[in-house]
Amino acid sequence: MEIEKNIEDELRAEAQEKGEVATKILDALVFSKFGGIEYSMMVRRQRQNSYSSNNIANPIYFEFDVDIDVDKTFEPSPTYDKKYEDYIYEIGEHIERALRYVNLQDYMEEPMFTYVNDDLVENEVDRLENKLVLYLQSQYEGLSYDSIREADIGYYFYKGETDNPYMRIEYIGHPPIIDGDRHEFTDRGISDDLDKSIKNEREYFSCEDLYDIMSDLFDRSPLSLSYDGENYTCQ
């Protein structure tokens, strides 16, 4: 536990006392599980006109940062732990319930998260993206690697930052323009508001096609065992 440095002396004793009570109950009921869940807690002074979610009547509040072990949420991982996964996805509720035992729940700010041990998942995302590139090139003659990259086509491992942990695989990008037509657009200075029907004729495939391809590859990936896929293509 840390106390914000600029807390006035008259509040520091209260911050120290409440902070110690909070960490004691949290260490016992929440963060001691699964061999220990790493976290930090900062006691901060409530700012006037603050937009924080806790009770504005309290002069101080608790700010949490919790480590999320990604490997333990990924089913193919050797350290996967179903009980940890279920527990950590509701860590915000566990913190609040524990603080209720000592009547400090109103001092709680929504926790923030630091995701650790995510290399295994990120490597699997890279493998999935490589499969996508190879598939697109095999299906669409003349589609180059550079064109795919310029269209920002790929998968992104999203990790939520507040409230409760949330992870998903996002499909991103837009249909690449046929290479010969790309130069023609540039030379003629045709703008982005080009008639959609004309533009579609110059794309390798449609937004719907891109989603279908990316979704199908994701559904056959080990990532789909643990995470949802969400479509953000053509946005």
Summarize pLDDT for 130-160 with one digit per residue, the tens.
999 999 999 999 999 999 999 999 999 999 9
Tens of pLDDT, residue by residue over 37-65, are 999 999 999 876 554 555 557 899 999 99
How many other CB atoms sit within 10 Å of the CB of residue 227?
21
| Residues 103 and 171 reside in one and the same domain | no
Instruction: Give percent above pLDDT 70 in the chain.
Output: 86
Considering the domain architecture, whether residues 171 and 102 belong to the same structural domain is answered as no
Cα separation of 128 and 123, whole Å? 9
Query: What local confidence, expressed as pLDDT, does residue 179 receive?
Result: 66
Same domain as 159, residue 94: no
Name beta bridge partners: 167: 159
Is pLDDT above 60 for 191?
no
Domain end residue (candidates: 52, 87, 116): 116
- Domain enclosing residue 168, as ranges: 119-231
Q: Please state, in angstroms and rounded to a whole number, the distance separating the CA atoms of residues 118 and 170.
A: 16
The Cα–Cα gap between 112 and 160 comes to: 9
Same domain for 167 and 95: no
Is residue 55 within a helix (H) or strand (E), and if so which, with residue range? none
Lowest mean pLDDT among 91-95, 121-125, 181-185, 215-219: 181-185
The rounded distance, in Å, linking the Cα atoms of 169 and 221 is: 11
> Which residues neighbour 196 within 8 Å (Cβ) at sequence distance 6 or greater?
none
Where is the domain boundary, 97, 116, 135?
116
Q: What is the mean pLDDT of residues 83-112?
A: 96
Place of tokens 């050797």: 78
Mean pLDDT across 172-182: 81
pLDDT score of 197: 45
Asked if pLDDT for residue 192 goes beyond 60, the answer is no
**63 shares a domain with 131:** no
Q: Looking at the structure, do residues 102 and 167 belong to the same domain, yes or no?
A: no
Task: Tell me: pLDDT of 163 over 80.
Answer: no
Give pTM, 2 decimals.
Answer: 0.84
Q: Are residues 100 and 141 in the same domain?
A: no
Instruction: Point out the domain boundary residue: 65, 86, 116.
Output: 116
Whether residues 155 and 221 fall in one domain: yes
Band the pLDDT of 195: cuts 50, 70, 90.
low
What is the Rg, in whole angstroms, of the alpha carbon atoms belonging to the chain? 24
Instruction: Say whether both 151 and 205 belong to one domain.
Output: yes
My answer on whether 27 and 111 are in the same domain is yes
Higher pLDDT, 57 or 179: 57
Instruction: Please compute the mean of the pLDDT values over residues 69-80 and round it to a whole number.
Output: 98
Asked if residue 136 and residue 95 are part of one domain, the reply reads no
Lowest mean pLDDT among 6-10, 43-47, 81-85, 227-231: 6-10
**What average pLDDT does the segment 74-88 reach?**
97
The pLDDT value given to residue 187:
47
At 39, which helix (H) or strand (E)? strand 39-45
Q: What is the count of structural domains for the chain?
A: 2
90, 18: one domain: yes
Rounded distance between C-alpha atoms, residue 232 and residue 200, angstroms: 19
pLDDT at 215: 98
